[in-house]
Amino acid sequence: MSQYLPNTVSLACVEVTGSEPISLDDAKLYLRVDTDADDDLITMMISAARAEAEGKTRRVIRQSTWQWVSSEIVVPSQVPVTPCSACTSVVVDGAEVDPALYEFTSGGIAVPLFATIVPLLDFPKGQTVLTLSCGYADGAVPVDMVKWMFTRLGDFYEQRESYVSGSNFFEFSRNFVDALLDPYLIPDC
């Protein structure tokens, strides 16, 4: 993240408010599972598929609240989490900042790719903590991402016994299914 903002002190998800993009019922239907015996395993695999998609695309998929601590906000600053729909609070050196002292532009769902915050003339200097609403709303995750997660979930479930110490004997290199994520990849800067 520091490649985007050299003043970043920390960046962390503080609360997940959205649900997984694939429900347990939809996953079981896709996997053709009729029993409840593997529910915990399938739920874990849904989370793993979503986390892998987030890692590959560098996007937050589930709606969540993030805190970004910066030693100082410079004009303009890209928010290092995408998609980012709202800045719910800005605190500088422990004091809440009036929203009239900065401009926030959301990003990541459409253009622009990254949200930005622009401190205006009287914006205070100091360590800044921004609270941000990030990720896709429930039901709004791009269809291609969800298709990729279903496919990955199927791989996890069908090959669950072939995973040994973090490697899979049947794992292939990048394939056509990975191309579903291509439109959502955030390139290295």
pLDDT in tens, 140-179: 999 999 999 999 999 889 887 765 545 554 555 556 677 7
Q: Which alpha helices (H) appear in 5-66, and where do they start and end?
A: 24-31, 39-57
Q: Whole-number mean pLDDT of the chain? A: 87
pLDDT at 176: 61
- The predicted structure's pLDDT at residue 5: 60
DSSP string, 149-165: HHHHHHHHHHTTTTEET
pLDDT of the residue at 162:
64
Residue 167 has a pLDDT of: 54
Least confident residue range of 9-18, 47-56, 151-160: 151-160
Q: pLDDT tens digits for 106-132?
A: 998 877 889 999 999 999 999 999 999
Q: Are 135 and 84 in contact (CB under 8 A)?
A: no
Greatest mean pLDDT among 20-29, 68-77, 174-183: 20-29
Distance (Å, whole) CA 174 – CA 177: 8
Assess whether pLDDT exceeds 90 at residue 188. Answer: no
CB of 95 closer than 8 Å to CB of 168: no
- Whether 68 has a pLDDT exceeding 90, the answer reads yes
Q: What is the pLDDT of residue 2?
A: 36
* Residue 77 reports pLDDT greater than 50: yes
- pLDDT at position 171 is 54
183: helix, strand or coil: helix
pLDDT of residue 151: 93
Going by DSSP bridges, is the β-strand pair 163-164/116-119 parallel, antiparallel, or unpaired? unpaired
As a whole-number percent, the residues of the chain with pLDDT over 70 amount to: 88
- pLDDT-based confidence at residue 91 (cuts at 50, 70, 90): very high
pTM for the model: 0.81
